[in-house]
A and B are shown apart, each in its own frame.
Chain A
Amino acid sequence: MKFGIMVNEGPYQHQASDTAYQFAKAVLAKGHEVYRVFFYHDGVNNGTRLTVPPQDDRNIVTRWSELAAKHNLDLVVCVAAAQRRGLLDESEAKRHGRDANNIAAGFRISGLGQLVEAGIQADRMVVFGD
């Protein structure tokens, strides 16, 4: 089965991202496909590589990056939500005249159309949020 996943909350503040990650891992372990993970609202903060959690805690951002690399996942951060919250990739930073970018490996920034398209393409769309 093809799953679409939506993550609506930021890392550490809320369990939604942890649960979504565990769900994605379980789905893949069962041999299903994850069509896309779409990060929205504060969920976009799961995609900043400047996150530095304490060493004895899980690193939510690198965990997503590693899962994406291992399974070739499409991790998409909503551009409008990302801009509001200061998450930029290289081209967005250049476009808006900012001196740095902070997108983590394996994430890409794109539009909300990617969320709707995931809903169309996936057999099940699962939302993790508040």
Chain B
Amino acid sequence: MSDAGGVVKKFMFVNRKAPYGTVYALESLEVVLISAAFDQDVSLAFLDDGVYELTKGQSTKGLEMKNFSPTYRALEGYDIEKLYVARESLEERGLSEDDLLVDVQVVSCAEMADLMAEQDVVLSF
């Protein structure tokens, strides 16, 4: 399905929303999974309430919604391994790296801005 013609661009998917209050996080993850088929240089950024997408122990039974958080652990299998999390966003919410269900790189907002500046395509959700 890939139609990249050999072009490899740096794609960053920016996740800013909590996982369940709206559908953004779930539909963002669907784009990320599709992007893996295009052999691009993909990274994910998590900031603001988006850091909640990666927290351990999510339970959605009471919401009657699908818990899609295990999918983040499967990203490695798609060769998507660059996950950046904003330190300030974690700290503001009383979270640390230990609360997250995947290995990530915690970076400052300033470092995140530098990473964004390096990208060819930034899709924000």
Which A residues form the contact surface with B (CB < 8 A)? 6, 8, 40-41, 80-81, 84, 111-113, 115-117, 119-120, 125, 127, 129-130
Contacts and interface: CB of A to CB of B under 8 A. Distances in A.
Contact of B38 (A81, A84, A117, A130): A117
B74 interface: no
Interface of B: 1, 3-5, 7, 9, 11, 23-24, 27, 30-31, 34-35, 37-38, 40, 120-125
Contacts of B23: 41, 84
A120 B35 CA distance: 11
A128 to B, nearest CB: 10
Contact of A111 (B34, B120, B122): B34
Given A41-B24, A120-B40, A125-B123, A113 B9 contact: no
B35 A116 contact: yes
